[in-house]
Amino acid sequence: MRSIYLHSPRFDNFDFGSSHPFKSYRARLVYETCQRYGLLAHPWISVIEPEPARDETALTFHTADYLDSLKAANSGFPDFMMACYGLGSGDNPVFKGVYDLAMLMLGATMQGAELISRDRADIALNINGGLHHAKPAYAEGFCYVNDIAVAIHFFLDQGYERILYVDIDAHHGNGVQDAFYASDKVLFLSLHQSGDTIYPGTGFEHEMGTGDGYGYTVNLPLPQYTDDEAYVKAFTAVYPPLVEAFRPQIVVAQIGLDTLKRDPLTNLRCTNNGYREVISMIKASCPKILALGGGGYSIPDVVRGWTIAWAVLNGLEPQDDSATTEPAQDGTGEKLLDEPYRISPGLKDAVNRFIDAKIAFIHSTVFPVLGAHP
Ligand SMILES: [Zn+2]
C-alpha cells in the first residue's frame, strides 16, 4: 500500500471571515495532530505539497464565465455580476484570495486523483477537499469549485467504469449528484440529515438517477438526533451490499465530519466512535480510495476525527506519549476518541422508525436494479 497525505501550509493564508464557520486552517491542525500521533512517519506514506490546479482542469466541470467571475473575486471586492454566480453571499463570501484557495483545494484533490490513477498511490487524503455543493456555474454551501466532480470526470476520462462515490457529510452532496445523475459508471451514495430539516433541501430517497443512471443514485436521509448506533446501522444496511454488487475500481469518499453532536450547523448526534466504524467499512471496501474532508465546523472535534480517519485508512493505531485512544473526558483533551453517546430511548424509537423506512425503500427499489442483496 502507498498513501499520500496532501498538505499545504498555504491553506493558512485564507480567511472566509471571522464569523464564517469554514476554517481552512483546520487542515494544518489535522496535519499537526497526525504528526504528533506518529501517523505520517511510515515508509509507505508520503506527504506531498500540492500545487494549485490550472484553469483547464476546473473547466472540465465549471463554465468559463463562472471561472472568470471567481477570478475577478480574487481581489476581495465583490461586484453585482458575481451574485449571478452565487459569489458574495453569506455562505460564499468574496474575500481576498478566494480563487487562489479554490484552485489550491482542487489542485490537492487532483494530485491525489492523478497519483492513484497512475498507480503511484492507493490512498490519498485532502482534508480541504470534498466541496460537494458547487455547481458548474454557481457557488453554494461554502463550495466554490467542485473538486469531487472534476476528479470523477478525470477518472472517467482515464477509462474507469465503476467509480463509487460515498458521501458521509451531514449535508446532501447535491452538486455531485447532479453531475452524474444519468451515469451508470458512477454509483452515488449519500447519507445525510434529511433535506426536510437542513440545507440543501435535496437528497430524498426517491432521487434515484435517470436514464442509464437509474438506480445509480442512492440517498439515505437521516432524521435529526441520529446517533452512532442508528448511523452505523443505516450505513451497514446499504454500503457493503452496494459495494459487493457494484465492485468499484475506486472509491471517492467525502468524509465530512459535520455529523458530530457538537457541530454548530447540523442536528445529528454522532461521535467519532461511529465515524471510525464507518471509515473502517470504507477502508475495507476497495484498495484504492481518494478521501476528501468536506464539512466539519466544531474544529477540535473534526481535528480528532480526521486524525482517526487517516489512521484507519492506513491501518494504524495512533501513538503518542501524551495521548491515547481512551475516551476524551471533555472532547477537547489529548485523547482522540469521544465518550460514547446515545440518545434517549424515546428519541431512539422515532429515529429507528424513520431510518428503517428509508432502508426498506432502498432495499426494495435500488437494490434490485443493481443486483444488490440486503
Ligand atoms: Zn456538510
Could you say which of 3.40.800.20, 3.40.50.720, 3.30.465.10, 3.20.20.10 is the CATH number of the domain covering 3-370? Answer: 3.40.800.20
Ligand 1 centroid–CA 182 distance in Å is: 24
Question: Around ion ligand 1, which residues have CB less than 5 A away?
Answer: 169-171, 256, 258, 295
- Say if CB 226 and CB 268 are below 8 A apart: yes
How far is 163 from 157, CA to CA, in rounded Å?
A: 12
Average pLDDT value for the chain = 95
How far is 240 from 247, CA to CA, in rounded Å?
A: 10
Ligand 1 centroid–CA 227 distance in Å is: 16
| Section 36-60 average pLDDT | 97
Percent of the chain with pLDDT over 90: 95
Q: What is the pLDDT of residues 135-183, one digit of tens each?
A: 999 999 999 999 999 999 999 999 999 999 999 999 999 999 999 999 9
Ligand 1 centroid–CA 255 distance in Å is: 10
Q: Can you list the positions of beta strands (E) in the chain?
A: 3-6, 45-48, 123-126, 163-167, 186-193, 217-222, 250-254, 289-292
| Section 35-55 average pLDDT | 96
Ligand 1 centroid–CA 98 distance in Å is: 19
Give the start-to-end residue ranges of the domains of the chain: 3-370
- Active site (catalytic) residues: 133
pLDDT at 332: 45
Ligand 1 centroid–CA 296 distance in Å is: 7
pLDDT at 148: 98
Q: What is the pLDDT of residues 231-272, one digit of tens each?
A: 999 999 999 999 999 999 999 999 999 999 999 999 999 999
Return left, alpha or beta for 203; rule: phi > 0 is left, psi -120 to 50 is alpha, else beta: left
Q: Could you tell me which of 31, 34, 28, 26 has the C-alpha nearest to residue 320?
A: 34
pLDDT at 323: 52
Q: What is the pLDDT of residues 315-348, one digit of tens each?
A: 998 875 555 455 554 444 468 999 999 999 999 9
pLDDT at 244: 98
pLDDT at 318: 80
The dihedral formed by the CA atoms of 23, 66, 151 and 251, expressed in degrees to the nearest 10: 60
Ligand 1 centroid–CA 349 distance in Å is: 25
Ligand 1 centroid–CA 120 distance in Å is: 30
pLDDT at 330: 45
| DSSP for 331-370, written as a single string | SSSS-SSPPP----HHHHHHHHHHHHHHHHHHHHHHHHHH
Q: Could you tell me which of 158, 184, 190 has the C-alpha nearest to residue 259?
A: 190
SS3 assignment, position 49: coil
Ligand 1 centroid–CA 365 distance in Å is: 27
User: Between 329 and 44, where is the model more confident?
Assistant: 44
How far is 36 from 215, CA to CA, in rounded Å?
A: 43
Task: Give pTM, 2 decimals.
Answer: 0.96
Ligand 1 centroid–CA 371 distance in Å is: 30
